[in-house]
Every structure is written in C-alpha cells, then in structure tokens.
Structure 1
C-alpha cells in the first residue's frame, strides 16, 4: 500500500497544487512573452507565439514520454457514441452564428498565418484546460473539475484587459470564455474525446480572426451566443447519469 502511494505522481497526490502550478506557469509564460513583445515593439500576436510554441513542444514531449495521449482524450472520433454526437450540434450553430458578423478582406498569407496560429492556440489551451487540468481535478469530483477548469480558462483571458480593450468588452470575453469552458469541459467528461473540442476551438478562433473588426456593432450576436451557451450547459448537465459522470477519464481505454 505504501509502495503504491510512493509511485503515485505529484498530480495524483496533490491535484490542487498541480493545477495551481500549471496555471501560474502559463500566466507567467504569457506575461513574460507580452513584456518582451512590448519592449521589442512586436505584433499583438507575438506574445502568444513566443509562449505557446515552446508550451506546445513541451506538451507533445510530455504526452509522448508519459503515454498520456489516450488518457487525455486524444482518441479516434469513432470512440464517441453515435447518440452523443447531438451534443456537439450547438457548437456548429455557434460557429454559423458568429459568421453573421461578416468577414474582412484577408490575403492568402494572412489566412495561412491564422490557420497555424489558431490551431496552435486550440491545441495548447484544450490540452491544458480540458486535458491536464480537468483530468487532474477529476479525483475531486466532476463538478469541481468542470467548474475549476472553466474558471481558470476565463481567468486566463483577463490578460486581454491589458491589450487596450475596454472593461465591458473584457467582462463579456471573460463570461464568454467561462461558458465555453464549461460546455467543452462537460463534453470532455461525457465523451472522453478532446479532438472535437480542439476542432471547434480552432474554427471559432479562425472565424473571429478573419471576421469584421468592429465587434461592438454585433453585441446582440454575442448576447445571443451567451444565452445559447448557458442553455447548453444546462442541457449537458441534465444529460448525465451518475454512473457515467463519476467515471474518471483514465478508466477509459
């Protein structure tokens, strides 16, 4: 028994501390990259590139060496029960809805850059929040894991308040991130597959980047999406049956 406890990882023995360390390291990396980019007068996307590229490499190496890919939800889409695909439908509706904001003219080079940039962000953020953090906290209970991972995901977006946007836009973005985080976390617990979440995150950010810059003119669209997301959180929460929701991700092969 004592030998088993000795072999347990730090995240298993101290899940809360593990999550705190992950979040602090992420915030530190992004903040440091932001300071460097400001001093060097680099583009607004530079802090994310400077911090997320090494983070992505570390995650890939860690997942590979520790054989964490399957445990953290990197599985075939065929592993998702056919009946459960309906729970992804609202995400498709959200993607279509944000398209109503329209698009701005973009060059081929911009499109290629945004494809790589948004895929990088989607992989890193989903791997951290719906992968490592959610999985680490499941031992504390599904509610705790979902709520905490969603709150941390929204807190990370507070950094956007330093980029010059006003308070109202920042609050809207935090609430938006909180609800999206909750929906994606619930979908992760339900289907144990992170691939659709990365795909949604990637497409969502890509559409936002190539969309119209004047987002203040489309406040009504954002409010509708927030209501829609809140409804999906309720729908997903009610869809769970206790024997399924309490099963940790690591028990699924």
Structure 2
C-alpha cells in the first residue's frame, strides 16, 4: 500500500474508500442474516480502523492526516458549539432503548470506528490527495463523496426519500468537517462529532414522519453550511491580520 501511496495518493484513497464501502455493506448484511445487530460489523470496523491507523503510525503520517492537536483560536470556532448541536441530532425526538445491551455495545463500537474510518479516508486521504492542485475542487469532492457514500443505505433497505435527505445533509456536514480540518489542521473534532452522531442513533426515537425528516435535514444543512462559512470568514480575517503583522 505504501508504494501506491507514494505513486498516486488519489488512487490510494479510492482503494480504501471502495474497500470500506464493500466490506461494511457485506458485514451489515451478514449481521442481519445472523439476527444480531452489528455482530459482524463491529469486529470488521475495528480491524479496518486498526489497519488504517497502523499504516499512518508506521509511516509517521499523524500530522499529515490531522491526527494531532487542533491548531486555532477556539473562540473563532465558536468553541465547537455547533458541533454539539449536530452531534445531538439523533436525540432531538427523545431517547429510547432500541436494542439489547449487547447489541447496543456492538453498535456503539462499530459506529465509533466508522467515525474514525470515514473521517480519515474522506477528510484525510481523499482531501489531502487533491487539495494541493485545487483546494475548492478538493473541498467539493470530499464533501459530495462523503454524502454519496450513504447511497449504500438504499441497498440495506432504507427508503429512497430519507436516503436522499441523508445524502443532502451528509454532504453539508462533510463540507463543514472538511473546512474544520483544512483550517484547524486537526481531524479530531470531526471524528468525535461523527462518532457521536452515529453512536447516539441507537437511542433515537423512530419517527416515520416525512415532514420531521425534512425539517431535520434542513436544520442540519443550515447549521453546517453557516458554521463552515463563519469559520472561513473568521480565519480569513486572521490570515489577513497575520500578513499585516509580518509585513509590519
């Protein structure tokens, strides 16, 4: 894999993304066939996450892919309060127990690993492979591919309209996460938020109302895009002030 990484980072990232989507879909299908939520998915996700982190550790790429402390004035990032709002989305309609303790544990473990995997491969591998050539295109592709990656939910039995709404707000959140990583040089806030969103979904109150799903998607899109634009505006000012100080 390191040879591929050195030769072509974009192809390297695409290999990881394809492998992840295929393996996760198969693992979920096998788990469902066995009748236990995430019984296969959890260990598969753990192994996949360890492989990624092992590769990064072996080649000392921690800073390259943002697995380091956050670089930035937290005040300018509103102390990540909008991320807390996004992380709590699955609890907006209340809290309930949807599975046994064992299944809940397996679900949380697998979703926490998914947070690590998806942020590293979409925000880390894919974005970093493209951003040197065209930063705007890199942000766009990283965001859209992250949203489109949720098409796999259609294969797992999810209805079309909810899936399309998920693609929309996932793309918006992907845009926000990419901006946070690009400007703050750390992917850790994205991993934590992503893992929390996924993990807390096990406690969500199922609501079949289409209107409720639409409202939730709209709120997530507005919050994500507005917060990303806020960060861009504030960091742009900081960059200008920094340039003036250096010139002075």
Fold shared, TM-score > 0.5 on shorter chain: yes
The list of structure 1 runs, each at least 4 consecutive aligned residues, that deviate by more than 6 angstroms after superposition, is none
Match of 1:139 among 117, 127, 132: 132
Q: Is 2:94 aligned against 1:102?
A: yes
What is the Cα deviation at residue 56 of structure 1? 0.9
Q: Does 1:200 align with 2:189?
A: no
**Structure 1 unaligned runs (5+)?**
1-7, 245-253
In structure 2, relative to structure 1, the CA distance for the partners of 1:97 and 1:166 (3 Å cut) is closer
Equivalent position to 2:236, from 234, 241, 250:
241
What is the CA-CA distance between 1:53 and the residue it aligns to? 2.4
Provide the rounded CA distance (Å) in 1 between the counterparts of 2:36 and 2:209: 23
Scaled by the length of structure 2, the TM-score of the pair is 0.80
User: How many residues are treated as equivalent by the alignment?
Assistant: 235
Write out aligned runs for 1:25-40 (5 A): 25-34=19-28, 36-37=30-31, 40=33
Helix, strand or coil: the match of 1:123? helix
Could you say which residue in structure 2 is the equivalent of 1:17?
Answer: 11
In the alignment, the residues of structure 2 paired with residue 87 and residue 144 of structure 1 have an alpha-carbon distance, to the nearest angstrom, of 28
CA distance in structure 1 between the aligned counterparts of 2:219 and 2:177, rounded to whole angstroms: 18
Taking structure 1 as the reference length, what is the TM-score of the superposition? 0.79
SS of match in other structure, 1:103: coil
Deviation at 1:24, TM superposition (A): 2.2
Shift of the alpha carbon at 1:161?
Answer: 0.6
Q: CA deviation at 1:109?
A: 4.2
Query: Secondary structure in 1 aligned to 2:209?
Result: helix
